[in-house]
Structure 1
């Protein structure tokens, strides 16, 4: 945890405030499962639980904060002409649903490259969708301007105490279901989720370790707990975890993180893709890139549980872009050694392909795709290059096949290779 002005700032939320917020939204959200995962628990030799926020009606935890904010706006007694939000997708869906339930008009401003699935989900919830800007920050600028022009209430995705109080309901559920939890790992973007979860847990169990996880390329909080600094993120920074691609963290969330978060780590897109595959296999549920970063950190050893730990991995969302899911799965399979693409150069004569396929079968591998290349400058006349996409167990399994080809004097190259 950090020291300095943020850590000393007064945080206006008490445990009673968080419990009252949870009661207000109880009928609007799902108290998501806290699921003990046996295979991962055996692998890490400690109990590993998934908090599955990807099962929320809108597919992410954002519904919690949005529902509470809309409730408080209506309780204020002010005349509301509607609400507006800026989001890459999950906050937009949360606001759209929260407004729909309460009969309020909703407008959401999304970057032009927002996933089509999230755009259509917002429209399906009755919201007006405005596509503007290439970044979340540009979308937010327009949303704030439209709020003033149209007389709408702007709902910030994370830097709002009422939003944080709503997100805290997830932390209250964790303590209620697993009061013996000792380590809670949470995705970290703008900080609304981890702030709420950390408050809900630390105000009851100050001994619990709270760890935030950011993506390697967009990590403004990377050194925040060490020296209070925020890292400047490159405008061109890319990550498949678009839900936490937040370059300007909140001022309020910084106060909570400084006081109640114990560590912050980062993971790269390779690890995120592998975690998407792992979650799908272990839970039969989909996690978007941002939703699985906590699992990625655990799988890659960025967080090492102690022998006595009871671990909660928070899966924050499952609104994965379907056009990205297949590519991410293949990427995750390749980076974990379960998919290879090998090019073998052989004489262009009958039976050579059948022989190669026989070798692959002997090694207990499955061929997904085969391609021939002839007449290209890198392939000598009279030869052909056969490219096989093959499903394997791990990198050692791949090595066995390559060693076999080498022993036969064949020129074979792994076109994917190990990802470090």
Structure 2
């Protein structure tokens, strides 16, 4: 079943106090069309309007501020990322004057690479495999004596992402459920810890691209993914990772619903387009996945007592020259 979780609500409330001066309190949007289509009240938490264009800055800033609080000298920080966590860590490092080196796969969009450099971080490119990213990042950390801050599988990152749920439930206290797109599981872990503490009856649902087999793993209570870790064939580059992390796994197992929403590329495109056209917001494909889940046939089968549903628009870092429907 894996190790016991080591992040609790107190860690999230501490993170909230720690990062409040460094992040935006993101707004909530509603849309009467989607309410009509679903027969429920849908509330969108716009983390696409967060600093650096995604929720990732919450966990990154919490992690670097905690490092700074410790009384040993931190030389610098590094990570590997397809883009959003890289931007977030680069921004977080700049705000506390830590040197920062970000490892990105060669396929990362020019827009995200430029943003990372814009925050003053050094950029190192690597091959396309999960192992390429990990090995290059470990090499950078060794050579420079930098601290590695993973994108999701890190307790301070998880606590930082949990602040989303604290805000959301202050803004919409009557939420019955929250839908969250999942990659490594840092965001959904933090959200589940905070939301379940504040409102024990709330349901937290994972949304995944095809091929992640998260529901099968959660139902069996076992990590059924093949090794080494693989990337999925999805347009949602922010949620390409097939496996969830080893630290996030026991949290998902304990707190997240076993029923998972699985969406394909065409559905993700429709979700993105809905938000672009009807809500006038720029969102990336990982956000589109959560919207696609709400528009799915599966969503209609949810218990009728689930009236008020929160959806995390997790990021808006989309390459506008390469929108997936062109």
| Superposed pair shares fold, TM > 0.5 | yes
Normalised to the residue count of structure 1, the TM-score between the two structures is 0.74
Asked if 1:292 corresponds to 2:288, the answer is: yes
CA distance in 1, matches of 2:230, 2:89: 27
Asked if 1:272 corresponds to 2:265, the answer is: no
Equivalent position of 1:134 in the other structure:
128
Q: Residue 39 of structure 1: CA displacement? A: 1.6
Residues 273-313 of structure 1, C-alpha deviation per residue, up to 9 Å, x if partnerless?
A: 11110011122111111122111111122323443410111
Within the candidate set 209, 219, 241, 1:226 is matched to 219
Bigger mean CA offset, 158-167 vs 299-308: 299-308
CA distance in 2, matches of 1:192, 1:136: 17
Residues 50-102 of structure 1, C-alpha deviation per residue, up to 9 Å, x if partnerless?
A: 01110011011000000000001111111111110100000000000000111
Mark the CA change 1:101 to 1:208 in structure 2 (over 3 Å): closer, same or farther: same
CA distance in 2, matches of 1:33, 1:59: 13
Mark the CA change 1:71 to 1:64 in structure 2 (over 3 Å): closer, same or farther: same
Q: Residue 189 of structure 1: CA displacement? A: 0.4
Q: Residue 329 of structure 1: CA displacement? A: 3.3
> Residue 220 of structure 1 contacts residue 232 of structure 1 at CA under 8 Å; is this kept in 2?
no
Residues 211-248 of structure 1, C-alpha deviation per residue, up to 9 Å, x if partnerless?
A: 1011104x152411111233338957421011111134
Secondary structure of the corresponding residue to residue 298 of structure 2:
coil
Bigger mean CA offset, 271-280 vs 239-248: 239-248
Within the candidate set 306, 318, 334, 2:316 is matched to 318
Equivalent position of 1:409 in the other structure:
none
CA distance in 2, matches of 1:148, 1:135: 20
Within the candidate set 228, 246, 249, 1:251 is matched to 246
Equivalent position of 1:352 in the other structure:
none
Secondary structure of the corresponding residue to residue 251 of structure 2:
helix
Within the candidate set 141, 162, 165, 2:159 is matched to 165
Equivalent position of 2:304 in the other structure:
307
> Residue 18 of structure 1 contacts residue 168 of structure 1 at CA under 8 Å; is this kept in 2?
yes
Asked if 1:192 corresponds to 2:189, the answer is: no
Q: How many residues align?
A: 321
Within the candidate set 170, 180, 183, 2:177 is matched to 183
Q: Which has the higher contact order (CA 8 A, sep 6+)?
A: 2
> Residue 276 of structure 1 contacts residue 329 of structure 1 at CA under 8 Å; is this kept in 2?
no
Equivalent position of 1:346 in the other structure:
none
Residues 249-283 of structure 1, C-alpha deviation per residue, up to 9 Å, x if partnerless?
A: 21110011000000322110000011110011122
Consecutive unaligned residues in structure 1, runs of 5 or more? 331-420
Consecutive unaligned residues in structure 2, runs of 5 or more? none
Summarize the alignment of residues 97-136 of structure 1 with structure 2, pairs less than 5 Å apart: 97-136=91-130
> Residue 225 of structure 2 contacts residue 243 of structure 2 at CA under 8 Å; is this kept in 1?
no
CA distance in 2, matches of 1:186, 1:84: 26
Secondary structure of the corresponding residue to residue 173 of structure 2:
coil
Mark the CA change 1:154 to 1:229 in structure 2 (over 3 Å): closer, same or farther: closer
CA distance in 2, matches of 1:143, 1:176: 38
Asked if 1:153 corresponds to 2:178, the answer is: no
Asked if 1:52 corresponds to 2:58, the answer is: no
Equivalent position of 1:355 in the other structure:
none
CA distance in 2, matches of 1:198, 1:296: 21
> Residue 220 of structure 1 contacts residue 249 of structure 1 at CA under 8 Å; is this kept in 2?
no
Normalised to the residue count of structure 2, the TM-score between the two structures is 0.94
